[in-house]
A and B are shown apart, each in its own frame.
Chain A
């Protein structure tokens, strides 16, 4: 199954686009589907669109869980 990794908003380029960071990988995404995103927010990204804003606590819990999974079960590539 796919994993939803929270992306941290690093930079708002203009009202419609932002640069986000996925654990070290930066890329540009569209903000067309979410309102009121600012730098430091976490978002779930699908196919280049931020789908939803996450609160920081929620995002950190997910990131902690993913880190645990990465250590425990390993990731196959």
Chain B
């Protein structure tokens, strides 16, 4: 008899998602799956709209990482216009991208994951959240809120208070940076650096306490995909895609944006609404790969900033022979990336060119198809548009980070369920760990479904015929 355990939805991720864990006849975990319902009509919806509207349209519908969509979309539009944007505009886009990365990583690490890390995976769920952390570790909670706000303020200072800024536009940015705003950001960098430093110094020695999780949290060989600069350094805004294997050997390098579809296929699985991208040369599902902070640290050769370079060396020491494979280390990678982003923001804002008033190229469309790729906090983001002679969208394709990681998340959940789930019931600790694995990837499943009704938090144990053997509910 096969049993099915369902966790629905995943607490603190909130999407319209559920986890099913299928047990074999002996009550051992056979396979686990994350089922994600997302809005699939978006690309179709964009057809017939002017291409210039795409940045704000995509950003408006994804409020969690609007800057990432604005950037990938604007880059696809730059490509349609066949322009090279002014150097200062590219620098400003990089700064706002780092602002987004800092605020997103801070939210993920301090607000979502630190409760598991600090209070323990087996602690009472009623207090295992950021407020529980704030009660026991007030300074760390305060640091997390401050750092997230610093990143958010970079975005607001550059582009205005609105969450869907029209500052990032096809051809560059709409307004140059003022000296006053630059100085405001620069003045706060030392405090942000101190927090990043302090957090790394606390987290690195603490890693040893999580050996069980490190071993079982989606710790498996896979490919990794991410952007690198032309000289192989980590890259978040431009550059080429690179794929490395579990030994950190380069599988494909210098993939141009326009060639992404030669290497990335998109499979549709019957029981999930999220497409499952895979590395085409290996086929589906063998072409499983991971994107995001962990992948970026695995694909690059160097960071290119002094402090982050040292941190990369320490990070690499976790697995000197190859890529760092445990998804638990997404957390660690986020902290290294925060430090790197701060160093780069300081460097970019220190350049006199950052205040240049030449920030936008103006052109009509000069190509029928454009591709824009950037690194969102959660991983590689691809926007691909085709337009007609009037500049109206005839076809669009978006591949988001959570999509890239879909196959890897399933494999990760299966692995942790095999280690921590036993028998007919899910213990609290096992349930927490299954959810914590998903949180490593920080998937953007959120927001949509709340408007539409169903929000049960239900765990079900089903037999092969679908009959409920056991069920329980948890409050959020």
Q: Is the CB of A48 within 8 A of B14?
A: yes
Chain A interface size band reads: 35 or more
Q: Are B452 and A75 in contact (CB under 8 A)?
A: yes
Which listed residue, A45, A75, A76, touches B447 by the CB 8 Å rule? A45
CB <8 Å contact, B444 and A2? yes
Known contacts: A47-B12, A51-B63, A76-B37. The answer to whether A2 contacts B145 by CB under 8 A is no
Asked if residues B164 and A58 are in contact (CB atoms below 8 Å), the reply is: yes
List which B41-86 residues lie within 8 A (CB) of chain A. 41-42, 44-45, 57, 60-64, 66
B1-51 residues with Cβ-Cβ distance < 8 A to A are 12-16, 37-42, 44-45
B-side interface residues, number (CB < 8 Å): 48
Interface positions, chain A 2-57, Cβ under 8 Å from B, are 2-7, 16, 22-25, 27, 30, 32-33, 44-49, 51-52, 54-55
> Are B38 and A1 closer than 8 Å at their CB atoms?
yes
Q: In this assembly, does B273 line the interface, its C-beta being within 8 Å of a C-beta of chain A?
A: yes
- Decide if A69 touches B476 in the complex (CB within 8 Å): no
Query: A61: which B residues are within 8 A, CB to CB?
Result: 60
Q: Which of B129, B163, B447 contacts A2 (CB 8 A)?
A: B447
Residue in B13, B60, B64 whose CB lies within 8 Å of A51? B64
A47, A52, A62: the one contacting B111 at CB < 8 Å is A47
Residues of B156-170 contacting chain A, CB below 8 A: 162-164
Q: Are A3's CB and B41's CB within 8 A?
A: no
Nearest residue (CB) in B for A4 is: B63
- Residues from chain B with Cβ under 8 Å of A4 in the complex: 60-64, 66, 447
Q: Is the CB of A33 within 8 A of B148?
A: yes
Interface of B is mostly: loop
A47 to chain B, nearest CB (A): 5
User: What is the CA–CA distance of A24 and B402 in the complex, to the nearest angstrom?
Assistant: 27
Q: Is the CB of B163 within 8 A of A44?
A: yes
Give every chain B residue within 8 A of A62 (Cβ-Cβ).
60-61, 63, 164
B448 within 8 A of A: yes
Determine the distance from Cα of A58 to Cα of B447 in the docked complex, in whole angstroms: 17
Partner of A1, one of B42, B162, B476: B42
- Among B64, B148, B448, B451, residue most surrounded by chain A Cβ atoms (within 10 Å): B451
Given contacts A52-B163, A74-B41, contact A47 B446 (CB under 8 A): yes
Residues of B within 8 A of A46 (CB): 14, 63-64, 107, 446-447
Residues on the A chain within 8 Å of B476, using CB? 27, 48
A61 to B61: give the CA distance in the assembly, Å: 11
Max chain B Cβ within 10 angstroms of own Cβ: one of A2, A4, A47: A2
**28 A/B residue pairs, CB under 8 Å, sorted by A:** A2-B402, A2-B446, A3-B39, A4-B63, A5-B451, A6-B63, A27-B476, A45-B447, A45-B450, A46-B64, A46-B107, A46-B446, A46-B447, A47-B112, A49-B111, A54-B162, A54-B163, A58-B163, A62-B63, A62-B164, A65-B60, A69-B42, A72-B41, A72-B45, A73-B39, A73-B41, A75-B41, A75-B452
Q: Contacts A2-B38, A3-B62, A58-B163 given; 7 further ones with Cβ under 8 A?
A: A3-B39, A23-B451, A27-B476, A32-B145, A46-B14, A55-B162, A65-B57
Interface set of B (CB-CB < 8 Å, partner A): 12-16, 37-42, 44-45, 57, 60-64, 66, 107, 111-112, 129-131, 145, 148-149, 152, 162-164, 273, 398, 400, 402, 444-448, 450-453, 455, 476
